[in-house]
Amino acid sequence: MDHHVHLHGIGHSFRHRGPATLAGIDLAIGRSEAVALVGSSGCGKSTLLQIIAGLLHPHAGRVIIGGTAVTRPSPRWNLMFQRPSLFPWMTVAENVALGLRYAGQRRGVAERVARLLEMVGLSEHAADNVQTLSGGQQQRVALARSLATEPELLLLDEPFSALDAFTRAALQKEVRNIARSLGLTVIIVTHDVDEAILMADRAVVMAAKPGRIVAEVRFDAAVAAGRDSPAFRLARQSLLHPFESAAVAA
């Protein structure tokens, strides 16, 4: 496999000589692969994602993305948070264009934004103020903004946790399909076992105190048939056991 992301011996603590938040994390992720980081609250999933994004510096180890050591954020990898964090005084199109402007791109911005809004199903809302949109629509704007710089890696930190079940299910499918169509590598943080199965090729199970990887579960492509399929039920059973064991151990 052509490995795209490498984590080498990642360790981190938020206090000098304090308890380790993360310890000894090694992980290789293939190009265009989707990986879910799962585990109970407090196991360091979001901290690890922020280290991958270059928002935090690990106290030990290093992150390599596409052959480049991560030392700071980059338009080559974008992080979507739980909340869309849009600028309420701007239109949908203006919010999407921000990523391009921050990356120093000036040419073809309008055309690029139009293509992205079509991709996420918001073309007719381009001139609307983002405050008029539903929660699901706002997350679509955030997704379009994250894709604007044509990143090679998309990082998702429980981006659908605040949405209703119907909207969440729709976005899980849409984001997965968009990532596949663009050939993106995806890392998603979630504590939802079903979401991990629906959105990832494999799940990495983390335990706490310190945050560490304790298991990996790869999913068969047949899980795409949905939650009622035998393949999905088998995948769920395979992931639940290490997930629950890790939670008990913490």
DSSP SS3 for 104: coil
Q: Which one is predicted more confidently, 128 or 15?
A: 128
159 in the same domain as 234: yes
Q: Final residue of a domain: which of 131, 150, 169?
A: 150
56 in the same domain as 45: yes
223 in the same domain as 106: no
Nearest CA among 96, 58, 59 for reference residue 78: 96
Kindly report the pTM of this predicted structure. 0.92
What percent of the chain shows pLDDT beyond 90? Answer: 73
140 in the same domain as 116: yes
Rounded CA separation 250/240 (Å):
15
**Tokens 């338009």, residue located:** 75
Rounded CA separation 157/81 (Å):
5
Q: Which domain covers residue 205, as residue numbers?
A: 3-76+153-249
pLDDT tens-digit series, residues 109-168? 899 999 999 999 999 999 999 999 999 999 999 999 999 989 999 999 998 888 888 888
> ∠ CA(131), CA(134), CA(136), 5° rounding?
125
156 sits in which H/E element: strand 153-157
Domain count, the chain: 2
